Amino acid sequence: MFLDKISACKLDLNSKLPELNKKVVLDIGFGDGESFCKDVLENGDIIFIGIEPYIKGFSRVVEFYEKHNVPNLYVFNGCVKEFLKSTKIKFDFIRIHFPDPWPKNKHYKRQLINKDFLELLHISQTPNGMLQIVTDCTKYQLKILNILSQQLNYSFIDKFPLKFNESSFAKKAKKNGNPIKVFNLQS
Ligand SMILES: C[S@@+](CC[C@H](N)C(=O)[O-])C[C@H]1O[C@@H](n2cnc3c(N)ncnc32)[C@H](O)[C@@H]1O
């Protein structure tokens, strides 16, 4: 099982920092890892640090690393807040694609994106670092817009320089006819 395997791509909270001599992207919640692995392969000039608490997806990405020996990939199995509070890495790009929507009012507090989380992201970015948030949940889109309108750390930009492959959640959103909203932001 790749979850328990010792692998150079795995980061833990005490890991020595990898040598980061290229631009670094933080991918928050890469899910099943399928589109994430394609992005890693197609962007060898960028270092990807992926965070995922879901064990199956995490193990799949470690397996991908071991089989393809991709030097630009690191992963952390756990919560992104825990990771960011302990790391000294500053990220050129951060992306959050299809964060769990938790659409019911009683689960609202479980949503990852809120004012405090955006502040944590901001202090974890390089000057002029960029953030991309994608969601097909209309309620979440409105909440994000509302939070963004009340902060000064990020401004909207037209384009995000990093392209990405379509994930299983993106496919599902399209199939269901849900409106996908992409927020491209810069510090
Ligand atoms: C709806 S899935 C989207 C997966 C992928 N980004 C995609 O576009 O297909 C949301 C992912 O966020 C992960 N997640 C939830 N809470 C998280 C947290 N606190 N830190 C990091 N990832 C988290 C979940 O485990 C899940 O895999």
The enclosing domain of 181 has a CATH number of: 3.40.50.150
Secondary structure letter of residue 64 according to DSSP: H
Which residue minimizes the CA distance to atom 12 of ligand 1? 29
pLDDT digits 0-9 by tens, 100-129:
999 888 898 899 999 999 999 999 999 999
* Mean pLDDT on 136-143: 96
Does 171 map to a domain?
Answer: yes
- The count of domains in the chain is 1
In a domain, 103, yes or no: yes
User: Is residue 154 within 8 Å of 122, Cβ to Cβ?
Assistant: yes
Q: Is residue 4 part of a domain?
A: no
Dist CA 137 CA 100 (whole Å): 9
For ligand 1, the distance from its centroid to the CA atom of residue 157, given in whole angstroms, is 24
Whether 95 is in a domain gets the answer: yes
Residue type, 76: F
1 compared with 156, residue with greater pLDDT? 156
Least confident of 9-18, 79-88, 160-169: 9-18
Q: Residue for token digits 């992409």?
A: 182
Expressed in angstroms and rounded, the spacing between residue 83 Cα and the centre of ligand 1 is 14
Is 5 inside a domain boundary? no
Among residues 100, 116, 136, 158, which one is catalytic? 100
92 as an active site residue: the answer is no
Question: Is residue 1 included in any domain, yes or no?
Answer: no
Per-residue model confidence (pLDDT) at position 21: 87
What are the residue ranges of helices labelled H in 18-54? 34-42
Mean pLDDT of the chain: 95
Q: Domain range spanning residue 98?
A: 10-186
Quote the pLDDT of residue 131: 98
pLDDT higher than threshold 80 for residue 1: no
CA dihedral (70, 76, 80, 84) positive or negative: negative
Ligand 1 centroid–CA 97 distance in Å is 8
- For residue range 4-63, list pLDDT tens digits in order: 778 999 999 988 777 788 999 999 999 999 999 999 999 999 999 999 999 999 999 999
